[in-house]
Structure 1
């Protein structure tokens, strides 16, 4: 069901139509509200042993809506929601989860132990907390400008960390979460990762301080965020903790999909540093222009006997 717009008076009918679809034992349900006013749904009648795919857009949800215990066959969930006032997504059957441009009023906990693919794209509010996803194959995470986990010291060029005074936002986040991994712990079992963040967001760098190991990771795509800190610490750390990594792609200051400059790296000797995964044989750098920022990254990689050609 796709609605160009939906008034408050229409809410009762939308719920009735949704209930009818569920009672008709549909395997796939789409519910899109494409323009305001968007509807607040507290408890949508989603209890079905037949529902496998659920696609939601333009809704505002709260309370127990995202507890899918009543949908034991649900495998594919896509959400592009305007406002989420729930604390947890809970599903043991879910295999594919995509959350795009959602706005969170509180920190969301995602408990989906059977997940195979995950997409978190340009979310508003606090970064979701991901519980262990041992079966995860692929994950895409983009922390955009709307992410509220922003280091207040970033603009001054002082990075919060063990050797620096931490800002108020970093202190508050660490106080609430302690030493628990927020994002990287949940996706550390993935084989293929794309991790992208705007400057100043502290989640990835914070999680790396607790040294998660990416024991199955084969391919990794990172953007310039991972190369911004002094010494390229985030990049160095994730490489050190990815023992079976085979392919590294650095997409620097270029959104793509077409990049003006693409360079491929190769090792110039048989001996390699212990800081570089022993199985790594493909290194790509994609950018718009080779400037000082790119040269800094190339110099870092060249220190490990990686040479580049256009």
Structure 2
């Protein structure tokens, strides 16, 4: 039976990260206020407002969703602050969300502590080689990185802690990894979903990859069509529902670098803030079509 679509809000709770990926999207124009998740009361209020707004009963969604919404926690790297992350997860569950998390996997203890409370874990995997991670910037200040064997062991452990946990891998296809073959890693981890995104030059053009190389990367991994979803640059615009660390909706630009921003949600209300950024339900739903169905 086909799974019903689910509305997903991506809250990028922090810009801070222990890695320095050269194509990082997590840069936002900074207001004077600090990151909202550091304020527990404001965090709870924002999540409550989002839960009400994202209800499938909201006419804005044109009866396209029947499942309860999912709050996807992203960064930066959210696991650097275990206490704040735990509070966000608890507030989201209380507000009726399914909860997912995007992480680089560098804080396994934090992941073990929240594994039973989330429905999906997204792991950012941008190279299968140590030198590739180094060139991309997926290393900390001491040069430490998460290798393929580390990821395999981590996923095995988290699935043991939560047998219903869905695993998703996210790969930003760029000039460093465009010729790599991820087949062995994907086969070992056996994720429920693998997303390949062509690098979007949100803030710089370093490590960009042309369309032909991106298409070759996708073709090289055609054996994983059942779980693979593909996002080229145009499909990433107006198709994500995103909140920045300061509680503003934001949206990708295709014609220039940077983002569109709304005013802070808690200042003007979630409905007015949402109306200030472009978002397409059809584009959102198109991202959740696997390559096999889209062909």
Q: Say whether the fold is shared (TM-score over 0.5).
A: no
Bigger relative contact order, structure 1 or 2, given CA contacts below 8 A and separation 6+? 2
Q: Which has the higher strand share?
A: 1
Report the TM-score when normalising by structure 2.
0.31
Computing the radius of gyration over CA atoms, which structure comes out larger, 1 or 2? 1
Report the TM-score when normalising by structure 1.
0.30
